[in-house]
Each structure stands twice: as structure tokens, then as C-alpha cells.
Amino acid sequence: MSVASPNNTAAFMADLKAKNAAEPEFHQAVHEVVESLEDFLNEHPKYRHARILERIVEPERVIMFRIPWVNDKGIMCVNRGYRIEMNSAIGPYKGGLRFHPTVTLGVLKFLAFEQVFKNSLTTLPMGGGKGGSDFDPKGKSDNEVMRFCQSFMTELYRHIGPNTDIPAGDIGVGGREIGFLFGQYKRIRNEFTGVLTGKGLNWGGSLIRPEATGYGNVYFAREMLKTKNEDFDGKKILVSGSGNVAQYTVQKVTQLGGKVITLSDSSGYILDPDGIDDKKLEYVMHLKNNKRGRIEEYAKKYGVSYFKNKRPWSEKGDIALPSATQNEIDEADALALIANGCICVSEGANMPSSPEAIHVFIKNKILFGPGKAANAGGVAVSGLEMTQNSMRLSWTREEIDERLQAIMRQIHSTCCSYGKNENGFINYINGANIGGFVKVADAMMAQGAV
Ligand code: GLU
């Protein structure tokens, strides 16, 4: 006799919290999904009987390791490394590496959990994983970052592979780090394979990969806006962050006729009422990607306002594209956005809106695109990078951009089919969670006790 899992979100969450203590971000991510799935699972009891929920929140494997490295002063340092291999029902584990002092087991479990649903939504055959370290790249020399990456890979290499687990970048891990990691993997394994994505263009990387998360989020928001006969043209946009996602968000919004007026980093935000045009964006890219400086310098260079230790959500904008990090929009921020007439929030970052903020957006029936749908363009083009590596050829920019746009349209329509309410309102959270779940759950059912 099969045992049905509790069809009660509170009981399920109480169990999860007891078993995974001190992991608030993981609890938050799971709660959102379980809440979305409640009615759907009641209508389809086979998933409860097969204990899919209980299985899907349990990582297939967690790897945790020591990363010793020597800094430029000759001092021995030690960080902690992780790889969460969350779910491989529909493909090899796939997901980024985050290097940031806030990284903990719980943060990476939330990210790996999100990744499972996100990757499923892309339509490509990728399971979910995530990894990283509490290493802080800020203020480190290139040589220190290289030694750290080499030490990280000296352990990680034995757990990954092009058909097993394919890491990529995330916060603190960009082209420079992927290069160092790839070089070390290749030395140890003595093989040149597509084991990482986000590689350089002349050593297996894909065109449009750096642009993909930001472009993808704008394409997704464009689809949402279309349902209201709206577009980006002439709109004022609030963007947070100033890294990879934010940069290419600004570029695409500008191409579509919108005006981005804010950018931020962990120290504060800048407000540029004239808009961040291509020339200014070039400056931001140099500042952040080469000089590795602070966004405050933008305010000095262009004579605009800088708000120390503040987030941009109290500014007046039509659309908000949070592209920094988790829980960067709280309830008060969400209320400020609504009061200022914001019609659309589309998440370039992973889980940037708190549950209370999401509640405000849904209650006010604005267009709200959750990260696992809206920012899936990055990992989608990573999937296309894997395809190109397997075929040992490269597609053109146009071809990849075409495919990216088609994937974002497909994700949008999946959200609509699973998230449309009787009154016509599209709840994109329910749509993304149910749409992402079904494919993985069905694969798990087909594969037996996995
Ligand atoms: N870190 C990105 C994400 O959150 C990309 C992962 C990848 O390309 O594997 O989806």
C-alpha cells in the first residue's frame, strides 16, 4: 500500500524546517512552490502517492569540501566549497557557482531547488544543481582568484563531467573565474570537454551567453507586457544590480525604446533621470568588469545622485527589473513600487522578492514574472552551449538569439497555460511552479524509486 504524503502545506513545511534547520532561504523557496502546487496535487493524487514532494526537496547529493589557498602575502586561507546535485530526472545536473561571503548551505539549496524548476521550464534536457563558496572575490588580485579557483576545482573535478554535472557562473563567477576553473579541470582530467558553460568564445563558449540572462528577462517581460497591449517603448525602468544580468538588461531595454534610470551595488544606488544610454553602459561595464569598482563612481562621473545603503525601489518607474540578489524587494519596497504606478516586475535575479512583496504584487494584479521563469534565459543559452560543444560547432549570434527568444516565448506560454485564473488574471508564480514541476515529476515517476 502506498502512503500518501500530507496534503497540508503547514505540516509539510513543519517537517521540512525540522529536517533542514537554519536554512531560511531554502524554506522560503520550497514554501512558495508547495503553496502553488497544493490544488494541482489535490487534483492529481498520483504525485502525492509517489511522494514526489518529499523526494524533490531532498538533494540527490550534497558535496561540501575544504578549499585551502595561499594569498599574495603568503598567508594560508581556507574557505568552504559546495556543490548541491539536486535533481537529475530530466538531464545532468546544471547550474551556476556563486562566490560570495553570504553563501551557505541553505542559500545554495534554495538556488539548486529553484534551478530544477527553471531548467525544466527551458524545454531543454537539464537537471538542477548549484554550487559555490563563501569566498569573497572583492578586493582580491587576479592571482589570488586564480589560486582559489584552482584549489576549488582540485576537489570539484571528481564530482562533475559533461554528462554528469555542468557548472557555470553566478554572482562572483564570470568569464575570468570560468577560465581558471576550466583550465584546472582540463589539466587534471586531460580532456577538453564542455564541462563548464560560460566559456570564452575561442575555447568552446557560446555567442550570446553573457547577454542571455538580461536579454531573456527583457524578452519575458515583453511577453507579459503584450498581454496588456503594452511594450517597453517610452517606459521608465528601475534596474538593480550592476553586474552581468543588470548590464545586458540595460542594453536590451534601451534597444527596445525604454529608459533605465537606476543601477545599484551592495553599497547603494545611482539615479540617472536622463537614462543610462549605450555610452554610459560602456562605462559601467568597464567599471564593473575590468576596474572592479563601485557604482558610486558613476554618480561622480556623470554628476547624478547616489543613495548610499539604499535600494532603488522608492523611485518612480513603470517597470522594475530586479537583477541583484535574493530578498532585495521587501513589502515596503513593493508598496512603494505600486504607489508609484509600476505595472510590471520581472525578476532577473533569483528570488529577489520576499514572500510579502510577492503578495503585494499579486494582490494588486500587476504583471509579476518570477525568477525561475523570467531569468531562465541564462541557463537556456548554457544548454545551447552544451549542444554546440557536443556537436563541436558554433552557431551564429542570430541563430542563438532567435532560439533564446523562442524559449522565452515558450516559457511564457507554459506559465499562461498553468497559471491562468478563471477571471483571466495570469498568476505567473503558479504557472512557473506547476509547469516546471510536471515534467520533472513525470520523469521521476517513470524512473521508479529515484
Ligand atoms: N547562474 C545562472 C542561473 O541562476 C545560470 C546557470 C547556468 O548557466 O548553468 O540560472
Count of domains observed in the chain? 3
Question: Which of 113, 116, 170, 372 should be mutated for ligand 1, with most atoms under 8 A from CB?
Answer: 170
Q: Within a domain: residue 274?
A: yes
Domain containing 271 equals: 215-374
d(CA 436, CA 106): 21
Q: Within a domain: residue 413?
A: no
Q: Closest Cα to atom 10, ligand 1: which residue? A: 379
Q: Across-strand partners of 70?
A: 76
Which has the closest alpha carbon to 50: 428, 450, 445?
A: 445
| Tens-digit pLDDT profile for residues 22-76 | 999 999 999 999 999 999 999 999 999 999 999 999 999 999 999 999 999 999 9
Q: Within a domain: residue 445?
A: no
Q: How confident is the model at residue 5 (pLDDT cuts 50, 70, 90)?
A: low
What is the pLDDT at residue 155?
A: 98
pLDDT at 1 over 50: no
Q: Other C-beta atoms within 10 Å of 21: how many?
A: 9
Mean pLDDT of the chain: 97
66-72 long-range contacts (CB < 8 A, ≥24 apart) are 66/155, 67/133, 67/135, 67/148, 67/151, 67/152, 67/155, 68/151, 69/144, 69/147, 69/148, 69/150, 69/151, 70/147, 71/140, 71/144, 72/141, 72/143, 72/144
What is the pLDDT at residue 8?
A: 85
- Tell me if residue 130 is catalytic: yes
d(CA 253, CA 376): 17
Single-letter residue type at 188:
I
Least confident of 75-79, 145-149, 360-364, 420-424: 420-424
Task: Read off φ and ψ for residue 83, nearest 5 degrees.
Answer: -140, 120
Q: Which three cell numbers stand for residue 231?
A: 511594450
Ligand 1, atom nearest to 376 Cα: 10
Cβ–ligand 1 contact at 217 (below 6 Å): no
Q: Calculate ∠ Cα 274-336-330, nearest 5°.
A: 110
| Tens-digit pLDDT profile for residues 54-67 | 999 999 999 999 99
As a whole number, mean pLDDT of residues 149-175 equals: 98
Which has the closest alpha carbon to 115: 97, 129, 103?
A: 129
Strands (E), 38-149: 61-70, 76-87, 93-99, 128-133
d(CA 48, CA 2): 10
Cβ–ligand 1 contact at 209 (below 6 Å): no
Give yes or no: residues 303 and 369 share one domain.
yes
Give yes or no: residues 357 and 343 share one domain.
yes
Give yes or no: residues 184 and 220 share one domain.
no
Query: Which residues touch 343 (CB under 8 Å, ≥6 apart)?
Result: 228, 230, 318, 319, 366, 367
d(CA 369, CA 217): 9
Give yes or no: residues 142 and 284 share one domain.
no
| Tens-digit pLDDT profile for residues 338-354 | 999 999 999 999 999 99
What is the pLDDT at residue 2?
A: 43
| Tens-digit pLDDT profile for residues 370-414 | 999 999 999 999 999 999 999 999 999 999 999 999 999 999 999
Query: Residues 171, 378: contact at Cβ < 8 Å?
Result: no
Give yes or no: residues 70 and 144 share one domain.
yes
Place of cell 538569439: 401
Give yes or no: residues 90 and 236 share one domain.
no
Q: Within a domain: residue 414?
A: no
Where are the alpha helices (H) located in 20-104, listed in sequence order? 24-43, 46-49, 52-56
As a whole number, mean pLDDT of residues 273-285 equals: 98
* CA quadruple 111, 117, 120, 123: dihedral sign: negative
* Domain stops at, among 15, 30, 56: 56
* Domain stops at, among 56, 77, 93: 56
Share of the chain above pLDDT 90, in %: 98
- CATH label of the domain that carries residue 75: 3.40.50.10860
CA 428 to centroid of ligand 1, rounded, Å: 20
Q: Within a domain: residue 397?
A: no
- CATH label of the domain that carries residue 274: 3.40.50.720
CA 144 to centroid of ligand 1, rounded, Å: 24
Give yes or no: residues 174 and 293 share one domain.
no
CA 95 to centroid of ligand 1, rounded, Å: 5
Q: Within a domain: residue 410?
A: no
Cβ–ligand 1 contact at 430 (below 6 Å): no
Give yes or no: residues 94 and 182 share one domain.
yes
- CB-neighbour burial class of residue 271 (10 A; exposed 0-12, middle 13-18, buried 19+): middle
d(CA 341, CA 343): 6
Question: Which of 199, 382, 387 should be mutated for ligand 1, with most atoms under 8 A from CB?
Answer: 382
Ligand 1, atom nearest to 198 Cα: 8
Cα-Cα end-to-end distance for the chain: 18
Which has the closest alpha carbon to 404: 433, 378, 386?
A: 378
pLDDT at 108 over 90: yes
Ligand 1, atom nearest to 118 Cα: 10
Question: Which of 100, 115, 217, 375 should be mutated for ligand 1, with most atoms under 8 A from CB?
Answer: 115
Give yes or no: residues 161 and 274 share one domain.
no
Q: Which three cell numbers stand for residue 24?
A: 531560511
Give yes or no: residues 136 and 284 share one domain.
no
Q: Within a domain: residue 278?
A: yes
Among 109, 130, 236, 372, the active-site one is 130
Give yes or no: residues 225 and 322 share one domain.
yes
Cβ–ligand 1 contact at 168 (below 6 Å): yes
- Whether the full predicted model's pTM is greater than 0.95, yes or no, is yes
Cβ–ligand 1 contact at 379 (below 6 Å): yes
Q: Within a domain: residue 101?
A: yes
| Tens-digit pLDDT profile for residues 299-335 | 999 999 999 999 999 999 999 999 999 999 999 999 9
pLDDT at 7 over 80: no
* Domain stops at, among 358, 374, 390: 374
Give yes or no: residues 40 and 116 share one domain.
no
d(CA 121, CA 60): 20
Cβ–ligand 1 contact at 114 (below 6 Å): no
CA 90 to centroid of ligand 1, rounded, Å: 17
